[in-house]
Amino acid sequence: MSNLEKSEGYREFLRQKKRKKCIILFSQVFLLVGFIGMWEALARYEIVNTFLVSSPSQIYKLFITYISDGSLFKHIGISVWETVLGFSFGTFFGIIIAIILWWSDTVAKVFDPTLVVLNALPKTALAPILIVWAGAGIQGIVVTAITISIVTTILSAYNYFVHVDEEKIKMLKSFGASKLQILTKLILPSNVPNIINIIKINIGLSWVGVIVGEFLVSRHGIGYLIVYGGQVFRLDLVMMGVAVLAVCAFLMYVIVDVIEKYITQKE
């Protein structure tokens, strides 16, 4: 096969790949627009009860109202800041603890039952206790977010660390590498994609912790908007809060995904 044929075949492969991406994107947009359009039509023709499910047009009007007076930006800013703190501290300390467990088999075996129990506990149910311990302000909400994400981080990161290719570890040891060198030259670099995946998971977990905390004690934030809307039977406010929450979580995920692609291309 000539180089020209190979080049043409590769270009055709790229065209098919691009075409597939366009089809997927179009399908996603079509489903979203179709869902919103059907929801609006059902609401306008009173097939569904707008008191219970509201409608896209009502949600949009309320969204514009909250944007106009600037209050929505304050609620979003507070919730995003709490979430960033939650998954940052949860990921950082979770990885530190996972390194300690990897470093010492004895410590790992001692704390293994504790981690299993903590992972099985419903952390959201413990939120009121955590908020009483940490305080009813932003610190209590952040602690709730950290608690939900940190155990998952520890278990996932530790599992990734101990399953690094044993042959590579033996090779480094044969050259006289210390445990610290094995950690910094092999374990952590080879698990950068896994750590980024942990961060992606922690974004969702931290949002859960933040929203639960805001349900309980906050006077600001997206969680407060949702629970307040439910208390006064304003389902348009509830739906708007859920929609804003979904967009914020998605954008944070996209940012991490862009960082991951940048790091991957750099390597």
Question: Token digits for 33?
Answer: 């627009």
20 assigned to some structural domain: yes
Which residues have C-beta within 8 Å of that of residue 36, sequence separation ≥ 6? Answer: 56
Say which DSSP state 267 is in: -
**pLDDT score recorded for residue 216:** 83
CA distances from 188 to 28, 63, 130, 133 (A): 36, 44, 32, 34
- What pLDDT is recorded for position 3? 53
Q: Which domain holds residue 95?
A: 70-266
One domain, residues 143 and 186: yes
| Residue 167 placed within a domain | yes
Residue whose C-alpha is closest to residue 207's, from 161, 253, 164:
253
**Cβ atoms of 62 and 236 closer than 8 Å:** yes
Answer yes or no: do 232 and 107 share one domain.
yes
Judgement on whether residues 16 and 76 belong to the same structural domain of the protein: no
- Please report whether residue 190 resides in a domain: yes
Predicted TM-score of the model (pTM): 0.81
Number of domains in the chain: 2
Q: What pLDDT is attached to residue 267? A: 58
Given this model, what pLDDT does residue 99 score?
92
Q: Is residue 63 part of a domain?
A: no
Residue 58 lies in a domain: no
In whole angstroms, what is the distance from residue 71 CA to residue 225 CA?
11
127 and 212 in a single domain? The answer is yes
> Is 252 part of any domain?
yes
Predicted local distance difference test score (pLDDT) of residue 97: 93
13 and 124: one domain?
A: no
The CATH number assigned to the domain holding 123 equals: 1.10.3720.10
Tell me, yes or no, whether 53 lies in a domain: no
**3-class DSSP assignment, residue 217:** coil
Question: 210 with 119, same domain?
Answer: yes
Residue for token pair 């300690």: 100
- Angle at the Cα of 178 from the Cα atoms of 173 and 181, rounded to 5 degrees: 100
Looking at residue 4, its pLDDT comes to 47
Kindly state whether residue 141 falls inside one of the protein's structural domains: yes
Are 133 and 31 members of one domain? Answer: no
Q: Are residues 103 and 235 in the same domain?
A: yes
Identify whether residues 80 and 28 lie together within a single domain.
no
pLDDT (tens, 9 = 90+) of the chain, 267 residues, equals 455 455 676 677 778 888 888 898 889 889 989 998 998 898 888 888 877 778 888 888 888 988 888 888 999 999 999 999 998 999 999 999 999 999 988 888 898 888 888 888 877 777 888 888 887 778 888 888 898 889 889 999 999 888 888 888 888 888 888 888 888 888 888 888 888 888 888 888 889 889 988 888 878 888 888 888 888 888 888 889 898 999 998 999 888 888 888 877 765
The residue type found at 36 is I
Give pLDDT, residue 98.
93
Q: Are 198 and 153 in contact (CB under 8 A)?
A: yes
**Whole-number pLDDT of residue 6:** 52
Question: Do the Cβ atoms of 221 and 75 come closer than 8 Å?
Answer: yes
- Same-domain pairing of 204 and 103: yes
Q: Are residues 177 and 257 in the same domain?
A: yes
pLDDT, residue 116, reads 85
pLDDT at position 117: 86
- 192 with 248, same domain? yes
Distances (CA, A) of 97 to 128, 143, 158, 171: 25, 17, 9, 26
pLDDT of residue 181: 87
